[in-house]
Amino acid sequence: MTTGSSDASRRGFLKTSAVAAAGASILTGLNPVRAAHVAGNDTIRIGLVGCGGRGRGAAEQALNTEGPTKIVAMADAFDDNLQSALAGLTKQHAEKVDVPKERQFTGFDAYQKILEQDIDLVILATPPGFRPLHFEAAVNAGKHVFMEKPVAVDAIGVQKVLDANQIAKAKNLAVAVGLQRHHEPIYVETIKRLQDGEIGRIVATRAYWNGEGVWVRPRKDGQTEMDYQMRNWYYFNWLCGDHITEQHIHNLDVINWLMGGPPVSAQGQGGRQVRVGKEYGEIYDHHFVEFTYDNDGDKSVLLSQCRHMPNCWNEVSEFAHGAEGSCDLANGRIFDTKGKLKWEFPRTDADNKRKNLHDGWQQEHHDLFAAIRRGERPNEAEYGALSSMTSILGRMATYSGQVIKMADALASNVRVSPVETFHSFDDKPPVLPNDDLTYAIPTPGVTKVL
């Protein structure tokens, strides 16, 4: 499992994180039923927190791994989500699902109840605003963790993840993050070649997540504002972090991996031009960010686009440009300075069968569970935090219209997601609608992000 960040970059990033060896004492609350010491052919008992589409998908992929596994507890804010996921998982893996009513938990405290169960590993797949709170609790409970990306939606959350991860390491816990490209051989081999100098010094990179957008769940009569926003979590920053953080993080993570660490600054622009209805909450429909990387004075620029607009050019990919050539990372192709193909990742295996080049979602679970059974404890939380913070930095730049330094962004005390203060669907979310049910939209030159 690659880490994708240099020692120097990590040290600089973590200097701002108040972590000490004695930090275990900061985590209080849940007492683990038993520590996660599974190995060999033991059954790995899994708890699922967050039963939406990605949670169910991650659970299925965990159950597809080699060796005995079992889903034994499930939690979600909404019971209908839980029941739908339970039915689907049972249909696919009946012999591997044992979740009676007493191990089904709903509500804002459901994650606490699931961590009190006899589980070895927990999958954290709620909206990302909850991730730092849930990760800290899982570590405190002594559970191995698979958590979806991003790991936070603000700098305070990133710091919480970094702090808790020091405790995870001290407890010898495995931590995986759903940035699956790190587990795809096409990316692993391509990035290795680039880092070995195949196109010379990298002077610029490009990254794209341009698509048409995602679902909307209409407001219902009598629905509380908290219930509505939780159902439509993608459109509220305290839950999602905007689509630059929720989706484009994948591409930004690839460039961080390639460049050996996160950027030092960003500036950009964005807004709402097509997706302007009140049903789209407060997030933008497009972002364009120029990130600057600086490796001991050797600077390069990443040009980053993400867009949610129909009938436009769609692209999800990453490119690198060097002094001696260029590379299409997503397709594993390297070209010389005249555009002639120099190398291509093999499309077929030894039996001449076509490979699935992008099956990282399943492979990351194969890798995690196999490592745990071998007694290894991989940890991906740090580069997950670095890439989450990179996407947050980009959002800060587009929302403010300012050049934002990574050091300043990481030190920001602006709390976007105060999820620990919420206990029921009658609570007021941190963002409230106007009388016409529209929401305030970030305005460059006006909105403060630091």
Q: pLDDT tens, 362-389?
A: 999 999 999 999 999 999 999 999 999 9
As a whole number of angstroms, the distance between CA 295 and CA 396 comes to: 22
Residue pLDDT, tens place only, 46-64: 999 999 999 999 999 999 9
Mean pLDDT (the chain, rounded): 92
How many Cα atoms within 13 Å fall on the side-chain side of residue 251? 27
Residue pair 229/429 in contact by the 8 Å Cβ criterion = yes
Mark residue 288 as left, alpha or beta (left: phi above 0; alpha: psi -120 to 50; beta: remaining): beta
What is the average per-residue pLDDT within 201-209?
97
Q: Looking at the chain, which residues constitute the CATH 3.30.360.10 domain(s)?
A: 185-356+389-413
Q: For position 355, what pLDDT does the model report?
A: 86
Query: Does residue 198 surpass a pLDDT of 70?
Result: yes
Whether residue 33 has pLDDT greater than 60: no
- All CATH 3.40.50.720 domain ranges in the chain, comma separated: 7-181+363-381
* Mean pLDDT, residues 138-142: 98
pLDDT digit string, tens, across residues 243-264 = 999 999 999 999 999 999 999 9
How far is it, in rounded angstroms, from Cα 222 to Cα 321?
Answer: 54
Mean pLDDT of 391-405: 98
Superfamily for the 185-356+389-413 domain: Dihydrodipicolinate Reductase; domain 2 (3.30.360.10)
| pLDDT tens, position by position, 270-321 | 999 999 999 999 999 999 999 999 988 899 999 999 999 999 999 999 999 9
State the pLDDT at residue 354: 87
When pLDDT is cut at 50, 70 and 90, the band that residue 397 belongs to is very high
The CATH code of domain 7-181+363-381 reads 3.40.50.720
The pair of three-digit structure tokens given for residue 30, joined into one six-digit string: 């849940």
**HEC states along the chain?**
CCCCCCHHHHHHHHCCCCCCHHHHHHCCCCCCCCCCCCCCCCCEEEEEECCCHHHHHHHHHHHCCCCCEEEEEEEECCHHHHHHHHHHHHHHCHHHECCCHHHEEECCCHHHHHHCCCCCEEEECCCHHHHHHHHHHHHHCCCEEEECCCCCCCHHHHHHHHHHHHHHHHCCCCEEECCHHHHCHHHHHHHHHHHCCCCCCEEEEEEEEEECCCCCCCCCCCCCHHHHHHHCHHHCCCCCCCHHHHCCHHHHHHHHHHHCCCCCEEEEEEECCCCCCHHHCCCCCEEEEEEEEEECCEEEEEEEEEEECCCCCCEEEEEEEECCEEEECCCCEEECCCCCEEEECCCECCCCCECCCCCHHHHHHHHHHHHHHCCCCCECHHHHHHHHHHHHHHHHHHHHCCCEEHHHHHCCCCCCCCHHHCCCCCCCCCCCCCCCCCCCCCCCCCCCCC
Q: How confident is the model at residue 36 (pLDDT cuts 50, 70, 90)?
A: low
